[in-house]
Amino acid sequence: MLTAPFSRLPAPVGLGLLLALGLGLAAAAFELLAFGPDVRAGVAEAAARVWPPE
């Protein structure tokens, strides 16, 4: 069950932690969607510097 790690906490605290975790994951997904092309370009550029194509 998803709430098992929080089962010893009072219900509002456990639900708050799950909500915070969900919001954090949503924010991370939004960052990847918003800045994904820039991040991929930066990784490709760094990889080309470290390992030049033959």
- The b-or-e profile of 14-49 (16+ CB within 10 A means b, else e) is beeeeeeeeeeeeeeeeeeeeeeeeeeeeeeeeeee
C-beta of residue 32 within 8 angstroms of C-beta of residue 39: yes
pTM of this structure: 0.49
- pLDDT of 23 reads 94
- Residues 30-39 pLDDT 10s: 888 888 888 8
7 alpha carbon, distance to own chain's centre: 24
- Residues 1-54 pLDDT 10s: 555 665 676 778 878 888 999 999 999 888 888 888 888 888 888 888 888 766
- pLDDT of 15 reads 84
